[in-house]
Amino acid sequence: MASNRILLINEEIQKELSSLLRKVKDPRVQDVMISITRVETTPDLRYTKVYVSFLQEEKAADAMKGLKSAAGFLRRQLGSNLKLRYAPEIVWALDDSITYGARMLELINSLNTGSNEETEA
């Protein structure tokens, strides 16, 4: 279980990275809507795992490459903005929970329409 301090740092990193992503000049990152869904930082603050989700799934692979190439810039900016002793190394992870949730909702809705047709017939 993460301590309260780590949870607060996770929230601050998430907020800061969300604003910093707008400043990244890489077209692979600029052309895609990116949502940071979750941040997990190690207790020693050396690594932070950032889970991201993309609106356009077909551009996700290129956007991940862009994020990985911009990680040094983002790490430097994060370290100076948050005033931490160590700027954590950013590890990007694709989070498909939003896509999975949308697919499950679609399946549930298709079941509901199927049962309504049977009761009306």
pLDDT tens digit sequence for 67-85? 999 999 999 999 889 888 8
pLDDT tens digit sequence for 95-114? 887 778 888 899 999 887 76
| pLDDT of 117 | 56
Based on DSSP, count helices (H) and strands (E) in the chain, helices before strands. Answer: 5, 3
| Tokens found for residue 102 | 């949308």
- Name the pTM for this structure: 0.78
Of residues 116 and 99, more confidently modeled: 99
In this predicted structure, the answer to whether residue 118 has a pLDDT above a threshold of 80 is: no
For each of the domains in the chain, give its residue range(s) and CATH number, in order of start.
4-96 (3.30.300.20)
